[in-house]
Amino acid sequence: MAEWWRGAVVYQIYPRSFLDSNGDGVGDLGGVRRGLAYIASLGVDAIWLSPFYRSPMKDFGYDVSDYRDVDPMFGTLAEFDQLLAEAHGLGLKVIIDQVWSHSSDKHPWFIESSASREGRRADWYVWADPKSDGTPPNNWLASFGGPAWTWNAKRRQYYLHNFLPEQPDLNFWNPEVQAELLDVARFWLDRGVDGFRLDVVNYYVHDRQLRDNPPAERRHVPRMATDMQRHVRDRSQPENLEFIRRLRALMDGYDERMTVGEIGDDPPLPRQQEYTLPPDRLHTAYSFYLLSGVAGTPALFRSALESWADAGGWPAWSLGNHDVTRFPTRMAHDDPRMARALLAALVAMRGTIFLYQGDELGLPDGHVPFERLQDPFAINAYAGGAGRDGARTPMPWTDAAPMGGFTSAGDAWLPMDPAHLPLSIARQEADPGAVLHLTRRLLAARRGSEALKSGVALPLTTLDSVLGFQRVAGGERVQCYFELGGSPAVVEDADLASGRPLLLEGGAALTAAGLSLPPYGAALIAT
């Protein structure tokens, strides 16, 4: 069976912020279809679509009320089928989000489950009696703030929600729930999707005894109270992997399909590896190891690569997505030169690579004033920034104010940051030195090199400010160097002088002695 996903580059689309095709200020499937040719021109292998299912949009689609239909805000099932066919016609695989740890509280399953302790779906969600004093059954905390339990007066019980109260957790201890979700998977696989991105995949099964989480060891009080616990009871239960095995068996019954899991746990890398051990777990998974990195240092990337040197699974890496501050701001501190070097380092890594829409433009985090915030997490945990909304502002297709070609309306569900307009797709298409063209060169180099796609990654001895590793497959070797400290560096290696440059970025140059790297220079050299 072809493993197209191994070493692939996947472009994440957040539909409501990608392109609005009907002028209502919200991106949609029609906008995604219009943008497919642009995405294909980047040289990526696949797209990942964030949720487009029916939803009350309390968490902007991650609260699903119908797993088998498209929300009218985004279009119709027929439009999705058209999108799928057009993407395949351009050589793009299509991965779609599956949000199975929880549903919307407006889902018919939860409405039925919350109505009575009797009935077919009474046990489809996680219900528990209160303690004798009326407080929740344990100390578990929700990721968006407050207890992970909400009282239901009809059942006179608490229900579990790891996120918003409007996102009740499904009960994976019930075999009917597992069977129903596997049938949801079949529905989309039969339509022809190429894979699933599995939201919080290690959250599915909870500790059946509902034991308390122990406290975490912390030097400082964290911003979110949930970080004060070690989540040993409400995440990553051993039984979770039994469902993963069932899902993998289903996927293996279809040709060339894949799964990528989102792993949220501490420590992140060992759990990421556990969930991808062959042959019966996820095809690949990503953690927040790079997504949470405050500074883009050589040590951060080096430790990520070295942790997988002897691991049996296959990693996935990303510097950005819809849940975190954009990497040019978070990791490069809004220095465009460093952002370019970080992008180059990401594309050279061993694993499946995910680019979030706008990464190819080097977009910094968008400014969103408090009164325009939409994200419930950003509002609940407001500490002076835009939270997740800063990464969700509309894509700038042109530099025309006010909305940069995203919509024909004068405004959108989130504002366009004026600072993004000079970084628009149209403006960068006309500039050969723009990040957009760097992205295309990087992806072309990766596609043309088996070593960069699937080879091993071996560390190279370098200065502290330089990330260095080589990718090797068969008789091909690519040496990869990235100056991330902001200081000039020289790599003395005679083999480099006679090598074939796949990329010289930021003024990097081969010399008789080896390689000269200016601040934030990058080089990929086949030797």
As annotated, the active-site residues are: 199, 262
Q: Rounded CA gap, 202 and 268, in Å? A: 11
Give the burial string for 63-101 (b: 16+ CB within 10 Å, else e): bbbebeebbebbbeeebbeebbebbeeeebbbbbbbbbb
CA nearest to 148, candidates 134, 166, 160, 133? 160
Name the 3-class secondary structure at 489: strand
CA nearest to 190, candidates 81, 33, 49? 81
Q: What is the CA radius of gyration of the chain?
A: 23
SS3 content of the chain, % helix, strand, coil (to 5): 30, 20, 50
Cα angle for residues 285, 289, 295 (degrees, 5° grid): 145
The one-letter amino acid at 170: L
Q: State phi, psi for 262 to the nearest 5 degrees.
A: -95, 120
Name the 3-class secondary structure at 429: helix
Cis peptide before 396 (omega within 30 of 0): no
Q: Rounded CA gap, 322 and 374, in Å? A: 13
Bridge partners (DSSP) listed for residue 120: none
Q: Rounded CA gap, 259 and 177, in Å? A: 19
Residue 467, CA atoms < 13 Å, CB-side half-sphere: 31
Name the 3-class secondary structure at 452: helix
Name the 3-class secondary structure at 456: strand
Residue 88, CA atoms < 13 Å, CB-side half-sphere: 11
For tokens 């985004």, the residue is: 74
Cis peptide before 488 (omega within 30 of 0): no
CA nearest to 266, candidates 218, 312, 299? 218
